[in-house]
Homo-oligomer: A and B are copies of this chain.
Amino acid sequence: MAEILKGNVVAAGIKEKMKKDIEELAKIGKVPTLGIVRLGNNPDDISYEKSIIKNCDTIGIQSKVFERNTDMTTEELVALMEELNKDNSVSGVLLFRPLPKHIDETKIREALSPAKDVDCMHPINLAKIFEGDMTGFGPCTAKAALEVLLYNEVPLEGKNVVVVNRSMVLGKPLVMMLLEKNATVTICHSRTKDLHEITSKADIVVTALGKAKFFDKKYFNEKSVCIDVGVSLDSEGKLSGDINYPEVSEMVSMITPVPGGVGSVTTSILLSHVVDACKKM
């Protein structure tokens, strides 16, 4: 039976450190504050927003919501970003995306100051990750996956890691983070042939296909460390990861559950970026 790598303990460690930082900041009159920019009333955005605000409250981070209409122009949204850049009461900014199609996302991403870009959308922060410079803000999901490995002291140097995802929120930045730890990394995706032959030989496999229970036993070996970042609904309508958990967890050495794995760490990473941004202000 595999060791279960739960996200809540990893998140607790991050929160513990944050609380200390927030106390220190309070002594010099600073309160970390997250500015949330939301266009329109998409229910998913609102649900995510509520969850973030609740998390902020618990930890002692202020939050301010900037709600705008979906018909606002690129110029207006750029102006809002520039206003938030100057606003000393806002440490970091989270902009809900995707944006309405009439808005030029490139201009918006470049308008926000890299120093307040806690969700890593500015090209300067992305280029830093690409170059292996981890002093900027990295994509939260990729950092969450890495944190789960680091917290559980999974060796990375010289290990063969397979990442089944090539997106900008997970696969590509995670590959750069793993290279910094001297892992040998393979990036797989929907066009990869004989995927199980590649994953089953790896020391660590990170999956994010969004196909419930797709990865069965044949994709792993007895020593596999499995980090499941996929979230989708299975045939019974239940939240599920990419990995067939009941079957695979019996065989491998370590595995993250879904829900309760990497996803539980992501918001803590975002909030830790807000605290870090406040410290640098």
List chain A positions with a Cβ less than 8 A from chain B: 110, 123-124, 126-131, 157-158, 160, 166, 168, 172, 175-176, 179, 182, 184-189, 191-193, 198
Contact = CB atoms under 8 A, between A and B. Distances in A.
A123 B188 CA distance: 26
A22 to B, nearest CB: 30
Nearest to A110: B124
Contacts of A191: 157-158, 182, 184
A168 B123 contact: no
Among A124, A127, A129, A185, which residue has the most Cβ atoms of chain B within 10 A? Answer: A127
A186 B186 contact: yes
Contacts of A192: 158, 184
- How many protomers of this protein does the assembly include? 2
A241 to B, nearest CB: 22
B184 A198 contact: yes
A179 B179 CA distance: 17
Contact of A189 (B124, B126, B179, B186): B179
A166 B188 CA distance: 17
Contacts of A124: 110, 123-124, 127
Contacts of A158: 191-193
18 contacts: A123-B123, A123-B126, A123-B128, A124-B127, A126-B127, A126-B130, A130-B168, A130-B172, A160-B198, A172-B179, A175-B175, A175-B187, A182-B191, A184-B186, A184-B189, A184-B191, A184-B192, A185-B186
Nearest to A114: B123
Given A123-B124, A192-B158, A176 B186 contact: no
Query: Which 8 A-B residue pairings sit nearest by Cβ, starting from the closest?
Result: A123-B127, A182-B191, A186-B186, A126-B127, A130-B130, A184-B192, A127-B127, A158-B193
B188 A184 contact: yes
Contact of A130 (B110, B127, B182, B187): B127
A155 B131 CA distance: 28
Nearest to A133: B106
B193 A187 contact: no
Contacts of A126: 123, 127, 130-131
